[in-house]
């Protein structure tokens, strides 16, 4: 089953996976506290604004992390930096940028991990944001409502590998994140 890009958010663990039929020549680059989805060196040039974006931002104060499938990750992180509660930051970022205005009306998905964890989606017909107490998945297609998902990795590397190797079609790359006593551990799998 093809569900497109997806996020999994739990209280102390999260993952984001790029899945694509149209633009499979992408990778996730580590830029310190930011992970960025970008074309691989051999990818054909494109004017598509949805191909490159920050997919993970880790914040020091308040200690939290944002994951998502597009440019809305940055304003959500900025709202958290300004002291917004996680739910409000997620709602405002998703609402402001709305679903992608592409041929598929692709939803925007995002999650926040911190003292409280939230997951959300904005589709053409709805904006849904929920607090999570167990690992929860939301995807751009088919699984476009938050739902419980079995996910119990012990490390960020295991989280990234589990997301990349999940049963869903057309995997490209994944990022995993685990909250620790010292902040966040992140990992990438291509």
pLDDT band at 62 (very low <50, low <70, confident <90, very high): confident
What string of DSSP letters covers 81-149? HTT--HHHHHHHHHHHH-S--STT-PPEEEEEESSSEEEEEEETTEEEEEEESS-EEEESSS--S-EE-
Q: What is the mean pLDDT of residues 70-79?
A: 98
Interval 147-158: pLDDT, tens: 999 999 999 999
Q: What is the mean pLDDT of residues 152-172?
A: 98
pLDDT of residue 44: 93
Token pair listed for 49: 């604004």
**Torsion-angle region of residue 30: left (phi > 0), alpha (psi -120 to 50) or beta?**
beta
Distance linking the first and last C-alpha atoms of the chain:
20
Q: How many residues does this entry show for the chain?
A: 190
Count other C-beta atoms under 10 Å from residue 36's C-beta. Answer: 17
Beta-bridge partners for 112: 66, 118
């Amino acid at each position: 089953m093809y569900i497109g890009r997806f996020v999994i958010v739990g209280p102390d663990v999260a993952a984001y996976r790029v899945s694509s039929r149209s633009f499979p020549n992408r990778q996730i680059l580590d830029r310190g506290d930011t992970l960025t989805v970008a074309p691989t060196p051999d990818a054909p040039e494109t004017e598509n604004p949805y191909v490159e974006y920050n997919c993970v931002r880790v914040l020091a104060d308040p200690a939290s992390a944002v994951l998502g499938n597009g440019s809305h990750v940055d304003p959500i992180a900025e709202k958290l930096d300004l002291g917004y509660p996680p739910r409000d930051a997620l709602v405002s970022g998703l609402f402001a940028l709305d679903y992608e205005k592409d041929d598929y009306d692709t939803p925007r998905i995002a999650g926040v991990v911190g003292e409280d964890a939230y997951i959300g989606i904005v589709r053409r017909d709805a904006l849904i944001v929920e607090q999570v107490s167990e690992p929860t998945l939301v995807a751009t297609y088919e699984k476009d409502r938050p739902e419980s998902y079995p996910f119990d990795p012990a490390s960020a590397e295991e989280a990234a590998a589990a997301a990349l190797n999940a049963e869903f079609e057309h995997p490209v790359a994944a990022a995993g994140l685990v909250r620790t006593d010292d902040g966040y551990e992140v990992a990438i799998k291509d």
